Structure 1
Amino acid sequence: MTNPLFYAKILLFGEYGIIEDSQGLTLPYSFYKGALKFSDLTEDFEKKSNISLARYCDYLKDLRLPENFGLDTARFKQDIENGLFFDSNIPQGYGVGSSGALVAAIFERYSLKKYVPENISKDELKDLKKVFGTLESYFHGKSSGIDPLICYMNLPILIENRENVDRVAIPQGKEGKGAIFLIDSGITGETGPMVQIFFEKMKTEGFRKTLKEEFIRYNNACIDAFLKKEMTPLFRNLKNLSVWAYEHFKPMIPESIYNIWKKGLDTNAYYLKLCGSGGGGYILGFTRDYDKAEKMLSGFQKEVIYRF
């Protein structure tokens, strides 16, 4: 059996906004990965994974998927009985797509119709996103399907709006002073409760208005500037985005991060934003001078994901 690897993903821009039709930009992150494998299930984590897969298989059996996207659940069940598990180092609750990679791996192995990701048309991408949303909703209650789509395609994806997605070329990184980096908040986040907080906030007209008129405008401007490699407008809009999140997404910002978030805004040395739904896991950082930011953020575990 070949074991294709499925990488984690990072949503650079679009957290929560994509629920309300903003743009999003997401890319694979090869530091973390997972693959379906067989074993005699002697290890605890293998056993737990195998049991989880069996439960998921029961869920999939009752799903009605579009004709072109059906799954061979009988073969999946048989493989589970033969010791199938998901071998992954993708941390759960960190906003980097642990369930997305699993869904992508299962679809790649058990889909009745075989797809070559590079050859998938834009219309098929749209349909695939919907199917992946259905498949991943088992884990989160509601899913846009974006995480599994990124993991499956293993390409940067531009989310144009709620319906449409397309492949996109990310500007080639280079060894400059600037960086995009991850900060480990030190705690695990749970997507469900964070999304619930967001929907509660959406019930108030003032929040809906500022999300549409400010957050989405800053978010889309960041994506545009990043793809064009225009750093001055990127950092101007990043600051606006970071200030907005600090004011309106406070429940989603882990307590351990409050002070350094504010410090970045006060000094303009770096700007922070949520990575995924927040509540824990990773926080994204952007800086024009990583050495300076790193010193200011000593004590926090950091990983650079892009240099410029």
Structure 2
Amino acid sequence: MRGPLFYSKILLFGEYGIIKDSKGLSIPYNFYKGALKIDTHKTVATHKSNENLKRFASYLQQLQTEKPHLVNFDMDALLKDIDNGLYFDSSIPQGYGVGSSGALVAAIYDKYAANKITVLENLTRDKLLQLKGIFAEMESFFHGKSSGLDPLNSYLSLPILINSQDNIEPAGIPSQTENSKGAVFLLDSGITGETAPMVHIFMENMKQEGFRNMLKDQFVKHTDACVEDFLQGDVNSLFGNIKQLSKVVLDNFKPMIPKQFHKLWKKGIETNAYYLKLCGSGGGGYMLGFTEDIDEARKALKDYKLEVVYNF
């Protein structure tokens, strides 16, 4: 058996801000993907994933007992498949901010949820929110707290615009232009990041009035402007806002940026060759880069691994 493929995602804008109702924009990233498979031989390679699914299944069992109106799964089929060697075969790096648990959640929902909402039906806002709510509960098993957006993105394989926590819609993003110099890229920090500790630091900071004000007056303001600019294809305004956002993150989210990248981050802002921002919760994994000239950015970052994810 092999299930359908579910892709990784990239939250272009909105990390941390969406907890406080900023806008957000998330796009599928087809370079990484995962699918449910069964390995009847239960080899060493698939054992860890199979054990994880066992724990996840008991969590889902508990979830549907506590919240029967939210979601129900065909637990018999799921447990039987796990016994037969079910695992998630994935190329999505874990702890890199590109949605490894999101793709797994989407795959499990797709295969085992009863009365599932499908991509083919008319996706009203209510249905999107219902899906997001189900996915948030499912994914909390991995992160402690989840917005449900990663699995939603992976499940629908569509760009999603987050207007606020209870207002989301599929988004049309400007089509990519060939041979253009402008690009969004991933920069590999070479370190795995853990979501839960980063979210904890953020929540602790939120207890300070100064931090809350900065979030509202600067971080959310520039994030919202970036989303608007990106969707409208206003590249000039976009880079002005990304530069501001990059500065705000460097000044206020230092723990989320691996130490050895503080200088590199600052250099981008000073030279305008590229601007860096967090990809997911930070602390390691990928950082997102934006540049108006990818050749210049490659030169400036020649010692690092870049992957272009979008051209404009």
TM-score, with length taken from structure 1: 0.98
Aligned-partner residue type, residue 141 of structure 1: G
Of stretches 69-78 and 22-31 in structure 1, the one that deviates more from structure 2 is 69-78
C-alpha spacing 1:68/1:195, structure 2 compared with 1 (3 Å): closer
CA separation in 1, counterparts of 2:41 and 2:48?
9
CA separation in 2, counterparts of 1:225 and 1:284?
17
CA separation in 2, counterparts of 1:9 and 1:123?
22
Q: CA deviation at 1:45?
A: 2.6
Q: What residue in structure 2 maps to residue 26 of structure 1?
A: 26
Q: What residue in structure 2 maps to residue 86 of structure 1?
A: 88
Q: What residue in structure 1 maps to residue 52 of structure 2?
A: 52
CA separation in 2, counterparts of 1:184 and 1:45?
25
Task: Look up the SS of the partner of 1:232 in the other structure.
Answer: helix
Residue 27 of structure 2 contacts residue 160 of structure 2 at CA under 8 Å; is this kept in 1?
yes
Q: What residue in structure 1 maps to residue 307 of structure 2?
A: 303
Task: Look up the SS of the partner of 2:177 in the other structure.
Answer: coil
Question: How many corresponding residue pairs?
Answer: 308
CA separation in 2, counterparts of 1:127 and 1:92?
26
List runs of 5+ in structure 1 lacking aligned partners.
none
Q: CA deviation at 1:114?
A: 3.5
CA separation in 2, counterparts of 1:62 and 1:13?
33
Q: What residue in structure 2 maps to residue 70 of structure 1?
A: 72
Residue 183 of structure 2 contacts residue 291 of structure 2 at CA under 8 Å; is this kept in 1?
yes
Identity of aligned residues (%): 55
Q: What residue in structure 2 maps to residue 293 of structure 1?
A: 297
C-alpha spacing 1:110/1:53, structure 2 compared with 1 (3 Å): same
Q: What residue in structure 2 maps to residue 253 of structure 1?
A: 257
Of stretches 110-119 and 252-261 in structure 1, the one that deviates more from structure 2 is 110-119
CA separation in 1, counterparts of 2:154 and 2:41?
26
Q: Deviation digits for residues 91-137 of structure 1, max 9, x if unmatched?
A: 00000000000000000000111332142221110011011100000
CA separation in 2, counterparts of 1:45 and 1:149?
28
Q: What residue in structure 2 maps to residue 9 of structure 1?
A: 9
> Which of 187, 196, 199 is residue 200 of structure 2 equivalent to?
196
List runs of 5+ in structure 2 lacking aligned partners.
none
Q: What residue in structure 1 maps to residue 141 of structure 2?
A: 138
Q: Deviation digits for residues 192-230 of structure 1, max 9, x if unmatched?
A: 000001011101000000100111010000000000000
Residue 109 of structure 2 contacts residue 116 of structure 2 at CA under 8 Å; is this kept in 1?
no
C-alpha spacing 1:68/1:135, structure 2 compared with 1 (3 Å): closer
Task: Look up the SS of the partner of 2:27 in the other structure.
Answer: strand
CA separation in 2, counterparts of 1:148 and 1:306?
21
Moved over 4 A (4+): none
Q: CA deviation at 1:70?
A: 1.5
Q: What residue in structure 2 maps to residue 38 of structure 1?
A: 38
Of stretches 110-119 and 210-219 in structure 1, the one that deviates more from structure 2 is 110-119
Residue 68 of structure 1 contacts residue 113 of structure 1 at CA under 8 Å; is this kept in 2?
no
